[in-house]
Amino acid sequence: MQIQTYVPIINSEVIHLSYTYYPFPIDKWVSRLYRTMGINRPEDIEEKKIARNLGIHLTYSDKRCFAREEGNFKLININKDLDKITQREIFYHELCHILRHSGYQYKIMPDAFRELQEWDASHFTRYAAIPFHMLKYIDFRSPAFIQEMSKMFKISEEICQYRVDHIYRNARPKKTYSVM
């Protein structure tokens, strides 16, 4: 994927640099999963659709947020009193626990392992919220692209900024550039 950025320099000239982003395995995995569900554009991302396709019961109640898996039964509960953006981010977090983790965290799991699973779920949230195959819908040249991403993907600006930081950290400059 090509990312275009503009860096101003002296005399009001601009150097146009082009970067290539090489996706991480988690990028590819999430994109493959979403595409099998027909989720190809940001507006296709719906928690209920994802849960239904994965055989997960999704409930909203006044209880705390959690994920539970017992045999073939899978459940994600989201607190209905949270705002929609927070609900969506928690859904991705809990989805990670169902898709990538095992064991009951709170009673018998060692603290270090539980902390690792929590870190992984937070990390997964950023990739599930803004999948690799949808990066093409983001105008990285816009001065307000973080706000636009937040609106497009219905998640917080903090999640967007974190994802963008990871994108740029893994982007490699192309050898060619032009002065405009």
Classify 177 as helix, strand or coil.
strand
Residues 9-65: tens digit of each pLDDT: 333 444 444 677 778 899 999 999 999 999 999 999 999 999 999 999 999 999 999
Residues 70-91: tens digit of each pLDDT: 889 999 999 999 999 999 999 9
* pTM for this entry: 0.81
Structural domain boundaries in the chain: 2-179
Q: Chain centroid to CA 99: how far? A: 15
Q: Are 18 and 4 in contact (CB under 8 A)?
A: yes
